[in-house]
Amino acid sequence: MRPGPSPSDTKEPVMSEQDREREEFLRVARRAREAAAGLAPLPRAAKDAALHRIADALVAAAPEIVKANEVDVARARENGTSEYMIDRLSLTEPRIAAIADAVRAVAALPDPVGEGVRGTVLPNGLELRQVRVPLGVVGIIYEGRPNVTVDAAALCLKSGNVAMLRGSSSAHDSNTVLVRVMQQALQDGEVPADAVQLVPGTSRESVKHLMRARGLVDVLIPRGGASLINSVVEESTVPVIETGVGNCAVYVDAAADVDMALKILLNAKTQRPSVCNAAETVLVHADIADAFVPRALDALRAAGVTVHGDDRIRSHGADVVAATEEDWAAEYLSLDIAARVVDSLDDAVAHIREYGSGHTEAIVTDSQAAAKRFVALVDSAAVMVNASTRFTDGEEFGFGAEIGISTQKLHARGPMGLPELTSTKYVVVGEGHVRG
Amino acid sequence: MRPGPSPSDTKEPVMSEQDREREEFLRVARRAREAAAGLAPLPRAAKDAALHRIADALVAAAPEIVKANEVDVARARENGTSEYMIDRLSLTEPRIAAIADAVRAVAALPDPVGEGVRGTVLPNGLELRQVRVPLGVVGIIYEGRPNVTVDAAALCLKSGNVAMLRGSSSAHDSNTVLVRVMQQALQDGEVPADAVQLVPGTSRESVKHLMRARGLVDVLIPRGGASLINSVVEESTVPVIETGVGNCAVYVDAAADVDMALKILLNAKTQRPSVCNAAETVLVHADIADAFVPRALDALRAAGVTVHGDDRIRSHGADVVAATEEDWAAEYLSLDIAARVVDSLDDAVAHIREYGSGHTEAIVTDSQAAAKRFVALVDSAAVMVNASTRFTDGEEFGFGAEIGISTQKLHARGPMGLPELTSTKYVVVGEGHVRG
């Protein structure tokens, strides 16, 4: 693998600020690449020991981390940031202890590296094995919460990958200290200290360096809103795993149990409206609309949800807002929902195909045939039958942890655990075998 | 999934040739997308029947195909194309029969779609299954040989994917007839006729449409030389699987059996020099150089191979050309090889890390420790121990067929068979489960 141009390629005697930032980025990325080579062959014990040292160091450094975080929080307040976002940004000593516990939990998970995927002896006697290996250097671009800095670093380290972290500039002081504490914890161990890296700089330009670092960075995982993810997909030459945009639909089939449908819809919409697996759309079969829609509108109203409906939904409630084309495609992440009456299961599928984001769709039905058809036709990362969309989650799926929820089809789809942070390698052992 | 702008977005009353080509591309891509939805849920029997109809139709249309191919061949001759390339381009009735047999062989392979990858009952009683599903629309950009048109279409169809084929303009007449014959064979069956599509146009612009068709095309697989692959990687917003660039090295360890090393080196370099798994570099441990290099130079010379060596190799042969930096990185695809003496296994690994393409590397050694270290440190899709690099191949690995050899780490690495042409979907079945 040949890395990008070296610093000596820059001929100008005086560097601009941009050039300087790029130099600094390449220096860090090359150290990350170097660290990846040292980290990849390490056994589980070395990685777990490093994770425990990181956890201990975070707890020990909690006062220092809180102090740095206070600078971020004060700046956010000055900028008029909402209390909700301030809460997401804030680190307290108990929160840091919880973050450290999460690191220890990652240490307790099985190591995906070295796991055999295939294994066989070929007819000619060659032994063929396909084994999991780390991806290498994983770039992660994320917003807001500084706990992601530690979570992502821990998952990468456990899977033998170097993390190049690019957090929100709003959390820059917190992230800087968190990464320094992690790097210091790695000193004197087998895992190279460079295995956790913060992308230098907070400008938009610094994200671009990461996106163009093909050959130095093996994969980029943007975690955040649709606009961040779209811009990364558009500009990156490093392979990208799209995560986290969820316009999830609940389809209430003609054969649905109305009580069950109400329970699932309310849970999917209101249990935690700000997350990607919350429902943003409800589609109701025309045959059950009279029985379901009035009760659903009552329940949603009671939960403080604004319904954006088509004419047939609106005929059941005066307070239903007229839905526009934008509503069908919206990822509200708030107490809003788009609602539509459809004439058939296939019309529901067509609606989802047109407007969905391929994250999670649910059908509520007592009909085995309807469930089978919905599962077969809906092309989403997860399809729920008689269950809330909120279950699409690495913890809920039993993966122990997740680095994000992929909504693309390549490499990983749905919640990504540790195995999704690996690639594979074929190892072929012969006794002087040649092809005839 | 929201497709790109519709034709009605174009306001100008008169369209340029470029606009017209783009319109035509979008029309074809939307039909492909539509066909993908119809193809995905089809059972194996429907797909196998379609493949057999395609095979029969190709044999029946052989005279027509040969006639179209003669136009391509005549044009190639006019353009001064080499006889080697003309041979690759040429279709005869026996070759068409062989292509049809290959399609029948694909029909005989197991269907990857629907295969269970994971399956469990979660503690809360939810049934969780991860099953293989088609990728959707697969764009394939390839050079030269028109048999790829049929091979790729058959592999895509079997794995439930729609193929959008963009072959070389030199084979345009052949490809046009081949695709028409396949589409006609699909009429009246369950598989939509639009499941096989030729990208309209032969201009470079038409490749760009494919690369920018995010939302319509799910993955792009470029098959060809490094420059084609690099330009696709650089410009595509559709996720790409890189294939086929191979700068493969054979490392002759200090503990190698010299006879075995000679046999493997000769096979890796000369058995078929024009393919990606041929060796392009040989690295020789200093301790075995005196025993190995003179015999290797004799054998390579006898096989007509030009050796590009460092000073230590050149000290063993007056006819060794001085190797440059370019030689270490070269994918010759010819009877040339770069050769270097290294002081240790780790130096061989460092050379491979610096110059290799991550395709296949081989070690020849009797030392278990050396083999283990080489396998652990070399970060390539395939690592051979005492076997020729030429074994990295879907057929040799027992996959029955291959769509290409991935040299990237995401999604698929190494020879790609039918399972590598799939994604997965989580199906979760509950009884009214909601999250607490």
Q: How confident is the model at residue A92 (pLDDT cuts 50, 70, 90)?
A: very high
Distance CA B221, CA B148 (A): 12
**B199: which DSSP letter?**
P
pLDDT at A6: 45
- pLDDT tens, position by position, A135-171: 999 999 998 789 999 999 999 999 999 999 999 999 9
Residue B402: its chain A contacts at CB < 8 A? none
Q: Distance of CA B34 to CAs A352, B28, B129, B410, Å?
A: 14, 10, 26, 27
Assess B333–A contact: CB distance below 8 Å, yes or no: no
- pLDDT tens, position by position, B387-414: 999 999 999 999 988 999 999 999 999 9
Assess B430–A contact: CB distance below 8 Å, yes or no: yes
Token pair listed for B28: 């074809």
Contact (Cβ atoms closer than 8 angstroms) between residue A341 and residue A293: yes
Assess B355–A contact: CB distance below 8 Å, yes or no: yes
Q: What share of chain B is helix, strand, coil (3-state, %, to 5)?
A: 45, 20, 35
Per DSSP, what are the bridge partners of residue B433? A387
Query: Which of A1, A122, A408 has its CB closest to that of B358?
Result: A1
Assess A326–B contact: CB distance below 8 Å, yes or no: no
Q: B239–A271: do the CB atoms touch at under 8 Å? A: no
Residue type, B212: R
Sole residue written with tokens 């004197």: A188
Token pair listed for A145: 């919460």
Distance CA B388, CA B385 (A): 8
Angle (nearest 5°) at CA A65 between A59 and A66 = 105
Assess A287–B contact: CB distance below 8 Å, yes or no: no
Token pair listed for B5: 């702008």
- pLDDT tens, position by position, B325-339: 999 999 999 999 999
Burial class (CB in 10 A: 0-12, 13-18, 19+), A2: exposed
Per DSSP, what are the bridge partners of residue A174? none
Question: Which parts of B61-195 fold into alpha helices (H)?
Answer: 62-78, 83-89, 93-108, 147-158, 172-186
pLDDT reading at B263 higher than 70: yes
Q: What share of chain A is helix, strand, coil (3-state, %, to 5)?
A: 45, 20, 35
- pLDDT tens, position by position, B238-255: 999 988 789 999 999 999
Distance CA A146, CA A99 (A): 10
Q: Which residue of B has its CA nearest to A212?
A: B234
Q: How confident is the model at residue B8 (pLDDT cuts 50, 70, 90)?
A: very low
Q: How confident is the model at residue B114 (pLDDT cuts 50, 70, 90)?
A: very high
Contact (Cβ atoms closer than 8 angstroms) between residue B162 and residue B140: no
Average of per-residue pLDDT values in chain B:
94
Where are the domains positioned within chain A?
A: 21-242+419-424, 248-391
pLDDT at B14: 67
Q: Between A69 and B12, where is the model more confident?
A: A69
Query: Which of B2, B266, B428 has its CB closest to that of A382?
Result: B428
Average of per-residue pLDDT values in chain A:
94
- Asked whether the ipTM of the predicted complex exceeds the cut of 0.95, the reply is no
pLDDT at A13: 56
Top CATH class, B248-391: alpha beta
Architecture of domain B19-235 in this structure: 3-Layer(aba) Sandwich (3.40)
Written as one string, the DSSP assignment of B277-343 is: TSEEEEEEEHHHHHHHHHHHHHHHHHTTPEEEE-HHHHTT-TTPEEP-HHHHH----SSEEEEEEES
- Sign (positive/negative) of CA torsion A23, B231, B339, B414? positive
pLDDT reading at A2 higher than 70: no
Task: Say how many CB pairs under 8 Å bridge A and B.
Answer: 227
CATH of A21-242+419-424, one of 3.40.605.10, 3.30.590.20, 2.60.260.20, 3.40.50.720: 3.40.605.10
pLDDT reading at A93 higher than 50: yes
Token pair listed for B25: 């591309």
- Listed by number, the residues of chain A in 194-223 with a beta carbon closer than 8 Å to a beta carbon of chain B are 214, 218-219
Which residue in A3, A40, A36, A20 sits closest to A238, CA to CA? A3
Residue from B270, B399, B410, B431 to probe the interface with A (highest A Cβ count within 10 Å): B410
Percent of all residues in chain B with a pLDDT value above 90, rounded to a whole number: 85
pLDDT reading at A3 higher than 50: no
- Listed by number, the residues of chain B in 381-420 with a beta carbon closer than 8 Å to a beta carbon of chain A are 381-388, 390-392, 396-398, 408-411, 413-415
What is the mean predicted confidence (pLDDT) over B153-163? Answer: 98
pLDDT reading at A12 higher than 70: no
> Does this model's pTM top 0.90?
yes
Residue A219: its chain B contacts at CB < 8 A? 409-410
- pLDDT tens, position by position, A228-272: 888 888 889 999 998 878 999 999 999 999 999 999 999 999 999
Percent of all residues in chain B with a pLDDT value above 70, rounded to a whole number: 97
Query: Which of A376, A382, A388 has its CB closest to that of B426?
Result: A382
Contact (Cβ atoms closer than 8 angstroms) between residue B262 and residue B288: no
- Listed by number, the residues of chain A in 24-63 with a beta carbon closer than 8 Å to a beta carbon of chain B are 37, 40-41
pLDDT at A226: 80
Q: A425–B380: do the CB atoms touch at under 8 Å? A: yes
Dihedral, B242, B243, B247, B248 alpha carbons, nearest 10: 120
Burial class (CB in 10 A: 0-12, 13-18, 19+), A187: exposed
Contact (Cβ atoms closer than 8 angstroms) between residue A73 and residue A232: no
Considering just the CA atoms, what is the radius of gyration of chain A in Å?
24
pLDDT reading at B256 higher than 90: yes
pLDDT reading at B3 higher than 50: no
Per DSSP, what are the bridge partners of residue A130? A118, A426
CA distance B365 to chain A (A): 10
Could you list the beta-strand ranges (E) of A192-246.
196-198, 219-223
pLDDT at A1: 42
Q: B260–A432: do the CB atoms touch at under 8 Å? A: yes
Written as one string, the DSSP assignment of A283-352 is: EEEHHHHHHHHHHHHHHHHHTTPEEEE-HHHHTT-TTPEEP-HHHHH----SSEEEEEEESSHHHHHHHH
Q: Which residue of A has its CA nearest to B128?
A: A397
Residue A40: its chain B contacts at CB < 8 A? 376, 379
